[in-house]
Amino acid sequence: MDVQPSTRERLLDATEDLAFTQGVAATPVDEILRSAGVAPATLYAHFGNKEGLITQALERRLMRWDEAWQLAIDEASTPREKLLAVFPALTEYRRGVTAARWCAFLGVAAESPRPGPELQKALASDTQLLTSRLRELAVPVVGANHVDALVAQLVLVYTGVLGMLLRGMDAERAVELGLHIAGAAVEAAAGTRS
């Protein structure tokens, strides 16, 4: 039996398909409504407004990313592989979801100089997940004294990989280079472990 997605899910799917590839500002609500096959009142009943829709689409995307990343961590064998699993997870994740031009969170943040509180919270959740999980995974590899500097480096490399996607680099090549650079940063930090 073919189960149709709910109206809410169709709106979220249309938002990912359109707003996260074309840009939030460049995607009118009417286009999202047309793609989802729903009336304006439905959007407002479920999400309040366009920003509410974008916020919940980001929240759903973060939940999916969290699951994909955790799966990559669970499949990794060593603490070092678990720490660097964010890079292969990115490749797998991009195969399974609607691909954004680069990172939906960075794209929305760039287009939202004054986000409302809920959107701001959703954007911060992505950064929080990234930094807290990397910090947790880094301690067994480099020790507590070197974690903050290494996490900052890894976040920078990860963000650079996402930026290279926007510049048109092949995703697998960008991830491969990011993984190489991140691995060198981990080795350097592990070498200074006291």
pLDDT digits (tens, 9 = 90+) for 19-65: 998 999 999 999 999 999 999 999 999 999 999 999 999 999 999 99
- The domain segmentation of the chain, as residue ranges, is 58-191
Q: Are 21 and 100 in contact (CB under 8 A)?
A: yes
Whether the per-residue pLDDT at 1 is higher than 60: the answer is no
Residue 37 and residue 175: Cα distance in Å, rounded? 36
Whether the per-residue pLDDT at 194 is higher than 70: the answer is no
169 band by pLDDT with thresholds 50, 70 and 90: very high
Whether the per-residue pLDDT at 98 is higher than 80: the answer is no
Query: What does the DSSP 8-state code read for residue 37?
Result: T
Q: Which two tokens stand for residue 30?
A: 């009417």
Bigger pLDDT: 3 vs 70: 70
Give residue 177's pLDDT: 97
118: nearest Cα among 40, 52, 176, 166: 52
Give residue 11's pLDDT: 96
In this structure, which CATH number among 1.10.357.10, 3.40.5.50, 1.20.210.10, 3.40.640.10 belongs to the domain 58-191?
1.10.357.10
User: Does the model's pTM come out above 0.85?
Assistant: yes
Whether the per-residue pLDDT at 160 is higher than 70: the answer is yes
CA torsion angle 141 144 147 148 (round to 10):
170
19: nearest Cα among 91, 84, 101: 101
